[in-house]
C-alpha cells in the first residue's frame, strides 16, 4: 500500500494518474450523498420516520413552488405545514400549485425567516432553484434580478400563529440558514423545536458559515447534529474531515430526545 501511495504522490499530475483524481472525487461525492432529490437522498426517509411521532406543526422554509410541501403532506398527512416563500413570482406559483391540487393543510406565507424583522434585498437567479440574499460565487450563472422581501424572526412567528412548538423546521434558503436559526434562539432555548433539517454545501463558501458553526450553534442549546443519508441519519461529533461543502442535508435534534434519535438512526 505504501508503494502505491508513493507512486501516486510522485505522479499526481501525470496523464496516466490524473483521471483517477477525478474518479476519486466523483466516488467521494456519491458516497457522501451529494444528491438534491428529496425522494432518494434521505429527505423522504426522514419525513416517513418522523411521521411515526405524529408531527403537528411543520415549517417548510424556502418552500419554492411546493414540491417538498406536497411530499411532506403525503408522508405526514396529520401535520399542519407552514410554507414560507418570500419571492413574488415563486410565491404566486406556490399558491397556484396548492390551489390546483386542492391541498388544504398547507398554509403559504409570503415571508422569509431571518434573525430580525425587516425588509431585505434578495437576488433572483435563473429558474426556481436559487434565490439568495448572498451574491453566489463560483457558479455558472448570474443573478437576473432582485426582490425586496419581508423577513421575520421565528420566535415572533410562533407568537403570531399562537404556536407552542415546531415538530420539524426544514430550512432550504440558499446560504441564509444560520440567519434563520438565530431567529429561533428563544424557541431552541426552551427545547420547542424537535427537529431541524438544514442545508450545508458549496453556498456556505459564499455565506462564510462553516459546518462547525452549525455544530457550535446547536450544541449551545443541547442539540446534536447528524448527516442525512438515503437510509439513515448518522449522528456524529464534528470532525475537520466533514467540512467538505458536499452537503446536502443535516438534521439536529435535542440530545435528550432518544426516541427520535433511535427512529432516525
Q: Is residue 52 part of a domain?
A: yes
Mean pLDDT for the chain overall: 91
Phi-psi region of 148 (alpha: psi -120 to 50; beta: other; left: phi over 0): beta
Confidence of residue 128 (pLDDT cuts 50, 70, 90): low
- Asked if residue 45 has pLDDT above 70, the reply is yes
Cβ(155)–Cβ(116) below 8 Å: no
Lowest mean pLDDT among 20-34, 39-53, 90-104, 234-248: 20-34
| Angle value at C-alpha 171, between 165 and 177, nearest 5 degrees | 110
Whichever domain contains 199, its CATH number is: 3.40.50.150
pLDDT given for residue 35 in this prediction: 86
Can you tell me the mean pLDDT for 36-56? 95
pLDDT in tens, 62-121: 999 999 999 999 999 999 999 999 999 999 999 999 887 777 789 999 999 999 999 999
Rounded mean pLDDT of 136-148?
85
**Distance of CA 160 to CAs 155, 157, 179, 261, Å?**
9, 5, 20, 30
109-118, 135-144, 156-165, range with the lowest pLDDT = 135-144
120 lies in some domain: no
The answer on pLDDT for 192 being more than 80 is yes
pLDDT score, position 135:
86
Q: Does residue 162 or residue 28 have the better pLDDT? A: 162
Could you tell me the pLDDT band of residue 13, with boundaries at 50, 70 and 90?
Answer: confident
* Average pLDDT over every residue of 139-155: 91
**57 occurs within a structural domain:** yes
pLDDT at residue number 39: 92
Count of alpha carbons within 13 Å of 46, Cβ hemisphere only? 28
In this prediction, residue 33 has a pLDDT band, given cuts at 50, 70 and 90, of confident
The answer as to whether 212 is a domain residue is yes
In a domain, 8, yes or no: no
Please report whether residue 85 resides in a domain: yes
Name which residue leads in pLDDT, 219 or 36: 219
Q: How many domains in the chain?
A: 1
Decide which of 31 and 264 is more confident: 264
Residue 230 clears pLDDT 70, i.e. is over it: yes
Range of the domain at 225: 34-114+154-264
State the pLDDT confidence band at 30, using cuts at 50, 70 and 90.
confident
Residue 193 lies in a domain: yes
CB neighbour list of residue 249: distance below 8 Å, 6 or more residues apart:
41, 42, 43, 197, 198, 199, 200, 227, 228
Q: Can you give the pLDDT at residue 143?
A: 86
Residue 178 located in a structural domain: yes
Which residue in the block uniquely carries the three cell numbers 401535520? 79
Secondary structure (DSSP) of 65-121: TSHHHHHHHHH-TTSEEEEE---HHHHHHHHHHHHHTT--SEEEE--EE-SSSEEEE
Amino acid at each position: 500500500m505504501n508503494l502505491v501511495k508513493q507512486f501516486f504522490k510522485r505522479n499526481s499530475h501525470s496523464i496516466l494518474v490524473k483521471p483517477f483524481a477525478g474518479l476519486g472525487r466523483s466516488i467521494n461525492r456519491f458516497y457522501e450523498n451529494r444528491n438534491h432529490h428529496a425522494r432518494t437522498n434521505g429527505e423522504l426517509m426522514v419525513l416517513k420516520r418522523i411521521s411515526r411521532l405524529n408531527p403537528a406543526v411543520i415549517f417548510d422554509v424556502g418552500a419554492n413552488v411546493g414540491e417538498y410541501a406536497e411530499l411532506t403532506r403525503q408522508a405526514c398527512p396529520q401535520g399542519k405545514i407552514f410554507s414560507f416563500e418570500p419571492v413574488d413570482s415563486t410565491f404566486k406559483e406556490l399558491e397556484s400549485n396548492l390551489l390546483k391540487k386542492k391541498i388544504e393543510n398547507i398554509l403559504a406565507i409570503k415571508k422569509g425567516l431571518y434573525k430580525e424583522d425587516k425588509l431585505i434585498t434578495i437576488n433572483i437567479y435563473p429558474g426556481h432553484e436559487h434565490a439568495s440574499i448572498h451574491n453566489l460565487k463560483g457558479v455558472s450563472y448570474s443573478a437576473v434580478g432582485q426582490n425586496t422581501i419581508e423577513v421575520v424572526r421565528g420566535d415572533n412567528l410562533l407568537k403570531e400563529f399562537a404556536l407552542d412548538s415546531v415538530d420539524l423546521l426544514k430550512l432550504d434558503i440558499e446560504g441564509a440558514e444560520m440567519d434563520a436559526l438565530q431567529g429561533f434562539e428563544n424557541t431552541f432555548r426552551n427545547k420547542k423545536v424537535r427537529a431541524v433539517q438544514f442545508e450545508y454545501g458549496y453556498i456556505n463558501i459564499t455565506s462564510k458559515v462553516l459546518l462547525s458553526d452549525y455544530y457550535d450553534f446547536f450544541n449551545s442549546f443541547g442539540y446534536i447534529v447528524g448527516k442525512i443519508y438515503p437510509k439513515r441519519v448518522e449522528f456524529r461529533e464534528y470532525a475537520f474531515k466533514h467540512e467538505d461543502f458536499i452537503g446536502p442535508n443535516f438534521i439536529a435534534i435535542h440530545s435528550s430526545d432518544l426516541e427520535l434519535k433511535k427512529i432516525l438512526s
